[in-house]
A and B are shown apart, each in its own frame.
Chain A
Amino acid sequence: MTIVDNIPAGLGDVVSDDDWYRHLGDPDPAGSAAQRTLHDLLLRATRTQVWRLRNRLPGVGATDLEDLAQQAADDALLSVMRKLDTFEGRSRFSTWVYKFGVLHAGVAVRRQAWRHREVMLSDSLPMADHDHSPSAVAEGGDLVRAVRRALESALTPHQRTIMLALLVEQVPIDVLAERLGTTRNTLYKTVHDARQRLRRALIVSGHLDPQLDRRRP
């Protein structure tokens, strides 16, 4: 089976019965069947996510993508089994399971994509006027200049470092968390606080309309 053929025949019937998961962990044939169903669901999620993100891994062939999906499904299965008692039934069980597969597959792809890439950490801005490289040209305009000033004046060096790594270098948040020995939550909070400070400074300087529309996913 390759990464593109997804769900095994018959799985749809099984997962429509949301009670099967109650047998997970049982030391009997029903428990084993439930475990297989769980793994099939996770594989569907990890294959889908790996396939959607495959352009992040140029040169990686179908076999290696499949291995990545299989490994992510195995890892996700352990997470699901550990967190089974936190399932509250606010979604279908299969949807709840999918999110673990999608998470583990995304982390695996991003980690692999950045495996050989160095993450540059610096709180100094990519200032075009201080840079001799002709390619390092910052776009002109009042807003960009005001943002440069606010980055320097309103943020701490740590906030600036994290914001530049995540939003300028576009290092994936889980990759950066791993390199820094911290968590996705902590980094997101740092960048949230930095964004608040930056926006406040730009609103005060008249460069940002506080009612500016939010970007929607």
Chain B
Amino acid sequence: MTGRPERGGLDRAAVERMLVDTSPYLSCDDCFARIDEYAEHRAADPSHRDELMEVHLAGCEACAEEARTLIALLS
């Protein structure tokens, strides 16, 4: 790599993203395996809790984006 990369700043929002507690661990594939069932529960009852899924979605923006759209499709 040549030169200094232009990086985004290490601001508070970035620090918050780094400090998200993603335990207990769930992989993106396992999240995908459960996301349809999760979305149906959440669409039917927004107070539905699923710790494993919530922890993953808090730490994985791509999966979280998919979950939001899936819930919107069912709502």
Q: How far is the CA of A202 from the CA of B19 in the complex (A)?
A: 9
How many A-B pairs have beta carbons closer than 8 Å: the answer is 158
In the bound complex, residues from chain B placing their C-beta under 8 Å from that of A99 are: 32, 35-36, 39, 66, 70
Q: How far is the CA of A89 from the CA of B59 in the complex (A)?
A: 28
User: Which one of B8, B10, B39 lies within 8 Å of A147 (CB-CB)?
Assistant: B10
Contacts A99-B35, A168-B14, A217-B57 given; indicate if A122 touches B65 (C-beta within 8 A): no
Contacts A91-B40, A95-B40, A122-B7 given; indicate if A103 touches B66 (C-beta within 8 A): yes
The answer on a CB contact under 8 Å between A215 and B36 is no
Task: Answer whether residue A81 sits at the interface, using C-beta atoms and an 8 A cutoff.
Answer: no
Task: Report how many residues on chain B are interfacial, defined by Cβ distance under 8 Å.
Answer: 47
Task: Answer whether residue A128 sits at the interface, using C-beta atoms and an 8 A cutoff.
Answer: yes
Could you list which residues of chain B lie within 8 angstroms of chain A, going by C-beta atoms? 1, 5-12, 14-23, 25, 27-29, 32, 35-37, 39-40, 54-55, 57-62, 64-70, 72-74
Q: A106-B66, A120-B7 are in contact. List 4 more A-B contacts (CB 8 A).
A: A136-B9, A147-B15, A185-B27, A215-B20
In the bound complex, residues from chain A placing their C-beta under 8 Å from that of B37 are: 90-91, 95
The answer on a CB contact under 8 Å between A167 and B66 is no
Contacts A95-B39, A99-B32 given; indicate if A143 touches B60 (C-beta within 8 A): no
* Shortest distance from the beta carbon of A149 to any chain B beta carbon, whole Å: 12
Q: Which of A17-25, A60-68, A192-200 lines the interface with chain B?
A: A192-200
